[in-house]
Amino acid sequence: MKLFKWVVTTFLLLALQPVLAAESGTALKADAIKKEPYSDAQSVGTLGVGDKVNILKKDGGWLNVTSAKGSGWVRMLSIRKGDAKKEKGVLDSFKGLASGRAGTGKVVATTGVRGLNEEELKAASFDAKELSLAESYLTSKADAQSFANQGKLKPRSFDYLPLPQ
Amino acid sequence: MKTIYKLVLLTGLMLGCGTAVAFDFGKELNKALKENVQKKLGDNPGAAANVLSGIVGTSQEEEIAIGRQIAGNLLGASPLVKDKLLQKYINNVGRWVASQSERPDLPWHFGVIDSNDINAFAAPGGYVFVTRGLYQQLQNEAALAGVLAHEIGHVIRQHHLKILQQSSLVALGGEALSRQTGNDEKVQQLIGSGAEVVARSLDKNAEFEADSIAVVLSARAGYDPFSFPEVLQEIGHVARDDSSVELLFKTHPHPDERLDKLNVAMSDRLDNVKGQTLDRRFYRLKP
């Protein structure tokens, strides 16, 4: 019985993960729909510019989608998430639901306690105390390494990208 | 010392105001530089190189001093969010990402500042700040790492420092020319258009460069590199006239344009790179 409870709880928690459940999207460019989230995976179809998709989940740079052109994995950057024409409020409330963090996003804009505009920046004066406080939180290289280990973050080598002309 | 302070102040303003208005501040910077050069040169134009050498060939110590001043000014406008765990957390993530760059030994400092705006700032020497508004848009640690990596990109490529250096060179060129021809109007024109080109085109490309550095440093640090473009997508969904993104959109190309450029730069190079998002470890702020 306890196990059952645990299983149900886990399932519910999983379901509440910040997945992109059934979010819609539009193809920004023509791209292949792959069977697996890898570039050398088999193609099962091709999306054309403007084709609508339903986004089921994400894996790295890939989105699992269903569409009229087929279902499978498409490069995340080939898809524009959400319906561009949709109201911002609608989008945000959906986002809040999907992430389990209702209210973020839109609230930021409407509470309006404090902005940071040019005039404020222009008029700003040096705050030594606040700067010392900021500097007191310094993390050493060694501590950053431990922090990475705790998160099982494995460094890898990767070259910088060529800049597009 | 006063010169440095003035420069620093102006850099701070340029940092804050970025592309769209940088031209005006560039002009101001030129004016300040011209005045200072004039003062120090006296009747000895040959001394120009010495006066400006401190700016042109900036040492790491000077770079940090400039950044420190800018950071102090920024915190004067917007203090830290008073949450020790948050500030420690962002320093842990940031330092780990910065450790993957070619300047791992700078005394890197990160912070979340108390502003509802969606924005992030970098100052020379390793000072990086994210607004609470932007932090609250983030979904996981990989997204935070990507945002910090973008700012780290500005620092390691010395984008803000270069703007300063280039402006000072333009000012010096104008000064020298003025002495030769005595035609102030022409000189002013030269300085104006010259600074305009530098401030605008360099800034835009600097943003694209920082975006591509963001995905690379994220990947190197073991994070999902696609979390960063996802942040850009999210920000791109915020209405253009929303006040929280007013300054960001004024100083940066629109996220859609940035995503286009990033898409080209990334091509299929990261298709098979998987990394961690660390949703659970991400330090969430209450809305």
Q: Say if residues A113 and B113 touch (Cβ distance below 8 Å).
A: no
Q: Say if residues B222 and A148 touch (Cβ distance below 8 Å).
A: yes
- Cβ contacts of A37-46, under 8 Å, gap ≥ 24: A37/A61, A37/A62, A37/A64, A37/A73, A38/A62, A38/A73, A38/B271, A38/B272, A39/B268, A39/B271, A39/B272, A41/A73, A44/A70, A44/A71, A44/A72, A45/A69, A45/A70, A45/A72
| pLDDT score at B99 | 98
CB proximity A119 to B under 8 Å: no
Q: How far apart are CA B187 and CA B32, in angstroms?
A: 15
CA distance A61 to chain B (A): 5
Q: Above 50 in pLDDT, residue B254? A: yes
What is this structure's pTM?
0.71
Tell me which residue in B91, B237, B247 faces A118 most closely, judged by beta carbons: B247
Express each pLDDT in A36-61 by its tens digit. Answer: 999 899 999 999 999 999 999 988 88
Express each pLDDT in A62-96 by its tens digit. Answer: 999 999 999 999 999 899 887 544 434 334 433 43
CB proximity A124 to B under 8 Å: yes
Q: Given pLDDT bands bounded at 50, 70 and 90, which one contains residue B164?
A: low
Can you tell me the ipTM of this complex?
0.72
Question: First and final CA of chain B: distance in angstroms?
Answer: 43
The pair of three-digit structure tokens given for residue A78, joined into one six-digit string = 């080939």
Q: How far apart are CA B212 and CA A28, in angstroms?
A: 20
Per-domain residue ranges for chain A? 17-81
Chain A residues near residue B73 by CB distance under 8 angstroms: 121, 124-127
Q: Above 80 in pLDDT, residue B108? A: yes
Q: How far apart are CA B161 and CA B134, in angstroms?
A: 25
Overall residue count recorded for chain A in this entry = 165
Tell me which residue in A103, A109, A117 faces B242 most closely, judged by beta carbons: A109
Q: Please state which of the four CATH numbers 2.30.30.40, 3.40.50.700, 3.40.50.1820, 2.30.40.10 is assigned to the domain occupying A17-81.
A: 2.30.30.40
Average pLDDT over residues B12-28: 42
Per-domain residue ranges for chain B? 2-266
| pLDDT score at A124 | 77
CB proximity A2 to B under 8 Å: no
| pLDDT score at B107 | 97
The pair of three-digit structure tokens given for residue B166, joined into one six-digit string = 């280039």
| pLDDT score at A123 | 76
Q: Above 90 in pLDDT, residue B3? A: no
Residue listed under structure tokens 């509440």? A16
Q: Given pLDDT bands bounded at 50, 70 and 90, which one contains residue A23?
A: confident
CB proximity A12 to B under 8 Å: no
Least CA distance to B87: which residue of chain A?
Answer: A137
